[in-house]
Structure 1
Amino acid sequence: MYDEKIYSMINEIAKDLKDDCIKFIQRLIKTPSISGDEQKLADIIVAEMEALGYDDVSRDKYGNVIGIIKGDEEGPTIMYNSHMDHVAPGDVANWEGYDPYGGKIDICECDNADRTAKEMVECIHGRGASDVKSGHGFQIYAGAILLKLRQQGVKLRGDFMYTGVVHEESGQNGGTRRMLAETFPERGLDFDAMVSSEATSLSLYLGHRGRIEYLITVYGRTSHGSCPQNGINAIYKAIPVIEKIKNEVIPNLPKDPDGEVEPASISLNIIECSPGALSIVPDQCYLSFDRRTMIGETEDSAMKILQKVLDDIAAEDPQFKADIQVKPCIDTCYTGEVMNGYKFTEAWKIKKDHPFTKACAKALAQIGQPVKYGYWSFATDAAVTAGHYRKPTIGYSGMQEQFAHTPFDKCRTDFIEKALAGNAAIFLTAGEMEKEAFTPLDF
């Protein structure tokens, strides 16, 4: 349906729009949008899509933004997804002279796409440049490419849908979950496949591990700090838990049988105690674990492994008492809506021979980009579309994973131009697929 001339036009238009896209990304970086405080960023995104000529722009009660370019002909709906929140910048002194909210552009040393060499290239700096404010630019301006093509007589097949979502970083993928479970049915919206803007260095990313946060509470009994023998110190009682998990659980966690996704892992990241006063022996010790899961593991199956640790210790120590739960998550949106959930994200994979993956690969080849594949180390909102709903999902982005959540947060501007073209090409090639080809993921 779309010939070589049209794909050549995509590259030309991406080059023309690059500077406007960079300026837009700079505005996003200069706008702080910590989880729950995304409104100013959402306002900018809404205004930009309206100015570009999107056919429909709206937001839902949770603050998620939805922009749609309606197809000229019947076809699939491809959803492009980026989260609007970002993590805190941390100690500004670690940013080596860059303002986390500056959006500065300069020539600096940066990894190439394969991380095999360093290059002196132009980059844009600031919190979110790699996770994922540049991604909003790639995706929204990919829509602008499609609008330019339409103006030149190209018929678009199917709907292009951009979604900017709240509360990805807070752990429950709340914005995307509520949007798909509530907003889409209420508005009669649906989608056939999703493209995530999370960092992929211009490769197609095909999956990631799941993530669960577990809270183990170990109990003791208070006493005066001057007479510790009169109490049961919950911190001391927690030490065997830590040791058993480190020495017995971690070495035996499952691995991906295909060797594609990183092995399962567990990390003790937070230790707290209560009452937390110097003169009081603590009667509760809280251990927060970050557990990365394989496909096939569930909250219950992963929890049973840790529960066995607690049961084994209790069998040896009559004073030992502890329990475990998936950590709850309560997110308050900038609209005032509250999302109650749990710190849980599904694992997922899409096969290289899935029709959608093959279409994405064909699209990149059509515009002269190398086709490479990868898998994320971290979790993303793709867990909802692919892991929960089993919709065909891939990641494609010009951002680079190694800079996310670091004080070296940046994005190469040459990758911005390529990502613009790649996202637009993916939409066109996916539009040539029949709806029946968007088969549910099987893993």
Structure 2
Amino acid sequence: MYDILNTMAHDVRDDVIRFAQQLVQTPSISGQEEALAQLTVKTMNELGYDEVFVDDMGNVVGIVKGEGSGPNVMYNSHMDHVSPGEESNWEYPPYGGVVDGGYIHGRAASDVKCGMASQIYAGHLIKKSGIKLQGDFIYTGVVQEEPAEMFGMRWLMDRTFKERGITFDVMISSEATSMDLYLGHRGRAELEVTTYGRTSHGSAPWLGVNAVYKMMPVIEAVQKIAETLPEDDFLGRATIALTIIGCSPGALSIIPDKCMVSLDRRLVRGEEREDFIGPIQEIIDDLAANDPDFKAEVALRTVEETSYRGVSDMCEKYMHAWAIEKDHPMVEKCVLALNAIGQKPGFGRWDFGTDASYVTGVLGIPSIGYSPMEEHYAHTPKDRCSIENIIKATAGNAAIAYAIAG
């Protein structure tokens, strides 16, 4: 059966590549994914999925139903992408979906539309081959992954799947892995630190309290914290980085009474809220104890997100670290399946974050990354994906489903 999947993937090669081009040619910046959702729904219906629907948030779900007696496997891609930026930096049009040199070129080709095409067509291979899975093959395309709050995924898990009684035993993420199996990544928290002062005329600074100057010792202390953060044997070192700084009123001839910085804190396994907020609060408390004019606060950043279907919610900028082991039964099944079709995947981890932070880091359901895309092209003007990898990943995703749910 594995050999048949390889052959079938090559038989639908032109269709898969054409679909991947269509995906790249369909802009879907975060919060504007409706056209892409409609394209994927239309395609899955044409490919014979047993059930296809869009939930209230705007997430897309397609199911090839099994017999109900085995594990269910969920394939996941996010539908949104980041801005192309300045088009003059691109060799190929960002929404052209141009095929050249063995690659599909364009924004989101590597994050994650070519992986999406390989997942959706893997369900088609299962259906067309006549394989009777014991469990379900579930494809999910979620909204607004890029803002890093897991907005679409949380809704899909906590509402849509619960209301419809949909469950799964493992998630296969299409985030870029260069055909290897990725088993985790660090978490992320975005902290906001604010120092407060008092305005005065710029010609008489002694009459005010400059909030920017009050931020300076905070920044120095944060740099020292960076040297003491823990390290994970697999995920690497926890980090902290200042990414944004601003002040208000932010006008000429007026001393600022507020200064704000954003701290990007990358987390390793075992770190909880107190581990990344507590040290910053200690810095604030120590400075306040020695300076009567020092006033500051730290908070986990919270933002309001609204989906293209009008659903809004307040979202914390907080993602859990997670990892699963190489000898996990689901990982071993993936390796056996890929070996059976001639692929020899290695193991790795992502530098960036994914929605698996919620699925695995919060819900405890194992996630495994498997994708034709390469991480170093993501978010760059060289965004692209190997055509050969897309076809191999189509067969690979179908083989994984057969090994786990078959």
TM-score, reference length from structure 1: 0.90
Percent of aligned pairs sharing the same letter: 51
Tell me which of 392, 399, 411 is aligned to 2:366. Answer: 392
2:38 counterpart of 1:12: no
Residue by residue over 1:341-368, the C-alpha shift from the partner in whole angstroms, topping out at 9 and shown as x without a partner, is 2001111111111110111111111111
Q: 1:156-167 alignment to 2 at 5 Å? A: 156-167=133-144
How far apart are the structure 2 equivalents of 1:367 and 1:215?
49
Q: CA-atom RMSD, angstroms?
A: 1.1
Task: Check the 8 A contact 1:262/1:377 in 2, yes or no.
Answer: no
Indicate yes or no: 2:347 matched with 1:373. yes
Select the residue among 55, 66, 72 that pairs with 1:71. 66
1:55 paired residue among 50, 56, 75? 50
CA distance in 2, matches of 1:137, 1:346: 28
Matches within 5 A, 1:231-246: 231-246=208-223
Residue in structure 2 matched with residue 249 of structure 1 by the alignment: 225
What whole-Å deviation, never above 9, does each CA across 1:33-89 have from its counterpart, x for those lacking one?
111111011010110101111000001110000000001462111000100111111
Alpha carbons 1:273, 1:282 under 8 Å: kept: yes
Show the counterpart of 2:314: 340
In the aligned structure 1, how far is the partner of 2:314 from the partner of 2:170? 27
Deviation, structure 1 residue 225: 2.0
- The alignment partner of 2:110 has SS state of coil
Instruction: Describe the SS at the equivalent of 2:166.
Output: coil
- 1:270 equivalent to 2:244? Answer yes
Q: Which residue of 2 aligns with 1:217?
A: 194
Q: How many angstroms does 1:313 deviate by?
A: 2.0
- Are the aligned partners of 2:210 and 2:255 in contact in 1 as well (CA < 8 Å)? yes
Superposed CA offset, 1:304-353 (max 9, x none): 12111222222232211110111002111000110212001111111111
| Kept in 2: contact 1:210–1:345 (CA 8 A) | yes
1:141 aligned partner: 121
Whether 1:329 and 2:303 are equivalent positions in the alignment is yes
The residue number in structure 1 matching 2:379 is 405
CA distance in 2, matches of 1:276, 1:19: 56
Structure 1 residue ranges without an equivalent (≥5): 1-5, 108-121, 433-443
What CA deviation, in whole Å up to 9, does each residue of 1:126-162 have, x standing for no partner? 1101111112101101111111111xxx322210000
Mapped partners of 1:36, 1:278: distance in 2: 36
1:370 is paired with a residue whose SS is coil
**2:73 counterpart SS class:** strand
Give 1:193 deviation, angstroms: 0.9
Stretch deviating more after TM superposition (70-79 or 132-141): 70-79
Secondary structure at 1:424's aligned position in 2? helix
Q: How many residues align?
A: 406
1:431 aligned residue: 405
Query: Does residue 178 of structure 2 align to residue 201 of structure 1?
Result: yes
Equivalent residue for 1:362? Answer: 336
Match status 1:125 vs 2:105: yes
The structural deviation recorded for 1:186 is 0.8
In structure 2, how many angstroms separate the alpha carbons of the residues matched to 1:171 and 1:392?
19
Instruction: Measure, in 1, the Cα distance between the counterparts of 2:84 and 2:126.
Output: 34
Gaps of 5+ in 2: none
Distance, in Å, in 2 between the alignment partners of 1:340 and 1:77 is 31
The DSSP-based 3-state class of the residue aligned with 1:240 is: helix
Give yes or no for contact 1:222–1:283 (8 Å, CA) kept in 2: yes
Does the 8 Å CA contact 1:73/1:155 hold for their aligned counterparts? no
Does the residue aligned with 2:69 lie in a helix, a strand or coil? strand
Please name the residue that 2:100 is paired with. Answer: 106
Distance 1:40 1:318 in 2: 56
The aligned residue for residue 264 of structure 2 is 290
Aligned equivalents of 1:56 and 1:321: distance in 2?
A: 56
Pick from 166, 169, 189 the counterpart of residue 192 of structure 1. 169
1:289 counterpart SS class: strand
Question: What residue number does 2:79 align with?
Answer: 84
For residues 338 and 303 of structure 2, the distance between their equivalents in structure 1, rounded to whole angstroms, comes to 38
Query: Helix, strand or coil for the counterpart of 1:387?
Result: coil
Q: Given the two structures, how large is their TM-score scaled by the length of structure 2? A: 0.98
What secondary structure does 1:19 align onto? helix
Q: Aligned letter for 2:222?
A: I
Structure 2: which amino acid aligns with 1:421? A
Residue matched to 1:440: none
